[in-house]
Chain A
Amino acid sequence: MYPLNRGENKVVRIYMDHGATTRPDPEVVNAMLPFYDELFGNASSLHTFGQEAARALASSRKTVADFLRAEPEEIIFTSGGTESDNLALKGIAYLKKNKGKHIITSVIEHPAILNTCKYLGDMGYRITYVPVNNQGLIDPADVEDAITDDTILISIIHANNEIGTIQPIKEISAIAHMHGVLVHTDAVQSVGKMPVNVDDLGVDMLSISAHKIYGPKGVGALYLRKGTRLQGLSQGGSHEMGKRAGTENIPGIVGLSKAVELAKQRVEGDTKYLVNLRDTMIRKILDSIPESYLNGHPTKRLCNNVHVRFSYVEGESLLMMLNMKGVAVSTGSACSSKSLEPSHVLAALGIIPEKIHGNLRITLGHENTIDEVDYVVENLVDIVKKLRAMSPIAPKD
């Protein structure tokens, strides 16, 4: 038996899908609750109720700004990563359409960027998708080569949401600025899992989301460097410096602020703990399952990301069998997607089509333990064996 400390009769529930979402920290929930109750005011109101909300908004903005080493007026609160990405890309594209209509991004962006670029492409913008190598890394030289006279924006994901590869954003920013081009990065996955600040990265815009860092769903922020103009996407009141109309989600914003505060305290310890857990898990999987492979870069990867593939089996089956053992993970297999297309990220790595389907994304969190890792690996060994025994393409013993 595993000392999982989950009680005698309790069902095993091991959550290793922190790339999808995280369990809100109790401190976050507690910080939010009063704003669903007696502190319910509208931050635009002049009376006491409104001013209580306005104070919470201002102090949250300062906390988030400090965390990113930005100024409070550089933080725009949004409904999450997707809205932040949309606001950054469309907001710049619409405003600068007379200056240029060329945007550079990569082949391994999150759909929030990829589909926004596709949309802008349909609107008459020109989009260049820079490639990655077989470990998922972008070469800054490819970005530089793609820059033309009408390039207005470069948007590259900081750490990929599937394989966790961390991109050289600092170098890309430096190149972009030499050419007078703005840079945006989607840092939804990297925040809280490594030090992230706008000074180091040198970006003009950066997207974050609360629910990936033990905060609530439905809230995020866009950092917008002072002096950078951007066209808001919805018309309404003058909230968020006129960049994002709509009454502010104060409980959510307070939750984001608390999550960021905790992330700041924990990031160093968490990263150290998770790198060890991650590397132990990768080693145990690769050692105990024949024909298993790590996807992505061995070291330039998120501290909590284990992305592996197994020949001759399919990812959704792996996921479902692990789920029956109480373990939650995810997969980028074709069968698991509504489109029945395998992950564009794995395809971009050049993995051959018949080997692309048997992949699992295991994303760890600070509440996971080494005992849980052992439990998952041991079950995974059995599951892969069982599925291979059933697979017509597996070599016979």
Chain B
Amino acid sequence: MYSEKVMDHFSNPRNVGEIEDADGVGEVGNPVCGDMMTIHIKVDDGKLADIKFKTFGCGAAIATSSMITEMAMGMTIEEALEITRDSVADALDGLPPVKLHCSNLAADGLHAAIEDYLSKKEAGN
């Protein structure tokens, strides 16, 4: 049912955790629905220097979170904002149709963290 890449990211998730002095934090989903994700980012010179995630959810939710942190690491803010649910799913060699919303959650989580960073930056200026 899941691709080898999904199973790889599920069983060895990359970048799990939180960043204490994060520049941006995204929180999406809801434990009531069965999936929830937090993404912490550290931005250095307009680039994503560090990304950490925590996810409560199914195999696909964990794998998409892990994959998106790997994809976005080192990207500029602008590049990271271009990552879509489809690009995450494609990078995992696809997801079962019923699980596509999980990739949505990952993309939303990353974008929320970046928006948090941008709004904090704006408030600081």
Q: Is B80 an interface position by the 8 A CB rule?
A: no
**Total chain A interface residues with beta-carbon distance under 8 A:** 25
**Total chain B interface residues with beta-carbon distance under 8 A:** 26
A residues in contact (CB < 8 Å) with B: 312-314, 316-317, 320-321, 324, 333-336, 338, 340, 342, 353-354, 356-357, 389-394
Complex CA–CA separation, A361 to B40 (angstroms): 34
B58 touches A390 (CB 8 A): no
Complex CA–CA separation, A168 to B31 (angstroms): 35
Task: For A342, list chain B residues within 8 Å (CB).
Answer: 34
B34 to chain A, nearest CB (A): 4
Q: B-side binding surface: helix, strand, loop or mixed?
A: mixed
What are 18 A-to-B residue pairs whose CB atoms are below 8 Å? A312-B56, A314-B34, A314-B35, A317-B62, A320-B2, A320-B59, A333-B34, A335-B58, A335-B60, A342-B34, A353-B31, A389-B16, A390-B13, A390-B55, A391-B54, A391-B55, A392-B56, A393-B36
Task: For B99, list chain A residues within 8 Å (CB).
Answer: 335
Interface centre among A317, A333, A335, A336 (most CB of B within 10 A): A335
B residues in contact (CB < 8 Å) with A: 2, 10-11, 13, 16, 27, 31-38, 54-62, 98-99, 101
A338 touches B98 (CB 8 A): yes
Closest B-chain residue to A338, C-beta based? B98
Cross-chain pair count, CB within 8 angstroms: 65
Closest B-chain residue to A342, C-beta based? B34
Complex CA–CA separation, A356 to B98 (angstroms): 20
Complex CA–CA separation, A279 to B69 (angstroms): 43
A393 touches B59 (CB 8 A): no
A333 touches B58 (CB 8 A): yes
Closest A-chain residue to B66, C-beta based? A390
A334 touches B33 (CB 8 A): yes
A316 touches B58 (CB 8 A): yes
In order of increasing CB-CB distance, the 9 nearest A-B pairs are A335-B58, A316-B58, A354-B31, A392-B54, A353-B32, A357-B34, A334-B34, A392-B38, A391-B56
Closest B-chain residue to A352, C-beta based? B32
Complex CA–CA separation, A98 to B13 (angstroms): 62
Task: For A353, list chain B residues within 8 Å (CB).
Answer: 31-32
Complex CA–CA separation, A83 to B59 (angstroms): 34
The contact of B58 among A317, A324, A394, by CB within 8 Å, is A317
The contact of B32 among A321, A333, A354, by CB within 8 Å, is A354
